[in-house]
Structure 1
Amino acid sequence: MSEGSDEALSPLTVRVATAVRITGLSRSRIYELIQAGDIEIVKVGRATLVRYESLRRLTAS
């Protein structure tokens, strides 16, 4: 793997605060979308991690 290939990598998950910054949506709206099943999450302990690909699909539609 070359050094330049790291730039093409996307994160697997991001924290809710990062999802807010990426999408421009409010924190409460992000949680509403999670509850509705429009955004996929992973719970690791108490941390809620948002699947990055889920955010990409949301903003692409």
Structure 2
Amino acid sequence: MEPVLLRVEEAARLLGIGRTRVYDLIRLGLLQSVKVFGARRVPRDAVDAYVRSLTQDAA
């Protein structure tokens, strides 16, 4: 079973980008994230939604 919340490093690996770029996407509001006890986490479905937005923008 895949985790529901990903560490930033895990989200970066899935997207094929660096950790800093993931933080940039979060800061710009392009990738949703949450804080859990002070740790930044990215919902798995937020990664999917971001990829969908990229493909829609490309069309």
TM-score, normalisation: structure 1: 0.74
1:55 matches 2:47: yes
Measured in 1, the distance between the counterparts of 2:27 and 2:21 equals 10
**What are the ranges of 5 or more consecutive residues in structure 1 without an aligned counterpart?**
1-6
For 1:43, the equivalent position in structure 2 comes to 35
Matched to 1:43, the amino acid is K
Look at both structures and tell me which one has the larger radius of gyration over its CA atoms: 1
Percent of aligned pairs sharing the same letter = 32
Give the aligned CA root-mean-square deviation in angstroms.
1.4
Deviation at 1:58, TM superposition (A): 1.3
Match of 1:18 among 10, 29, 44: 10
